[in-house]
Amino acid sequence: IYFIEALIIWQYGVRMFPSKYSKSTELLWSILLYTIPFALSLVENIWLNIFSFIVINFVYILVIFKTAWHIALFHSAIVTAIMGITEILCSTFFTQFTYAFFEDALLPQNLILLAMVTKLTYHLALQIIASLFSIENKTLSFLNLESSILILIPFVSMIVMITFASICLSTRVSTP
Distance CA 173, CA 176 (A): 10
For residue 155, report the phi and psi dihedrals to the nearest 5 degrees.
Answer: -70, -40
| pLDDT score of 14 more than 70 | yes
Per-residue pLDDT band at 59 (split at 50, 70, 90) = very high
Per-residue pLDDT band at 137 (split at 50, 70, 90) = very low
How do residues 90-132 score in pLDDT, each as one tens digit? 777 766 655 555 555 556 666 777 777 788 888 888 888 887 7
Distance CA 138, CA 161 (A): 31
Query: Which position has the higher pLDDT, 51 or 153?
Result: 51
- Contact criterion met (CB below 8 Å) for 80 and 57: yes
CA-CA-CA-CA torsion sign (34, 35, 36, 42): positive
Q: What is the pTM of this model?
A: 0.69
Per-residue pLDDT band at 62 (split at 50, 70, 90) = very high
Range among 3-7, 45-49, 51-55, 104-108 with highest mean pLDDT value: 51-55
Q: Report the greatest alpha carbon distance in the chain.
A: 55
Q: Which of 38-47, 60-69, 97-106, 108-117 has the lowest mean pLDDT?
A: 97-106
Q: What integer pLDDT is reported at residue 141 of this predicted model?
A: 46
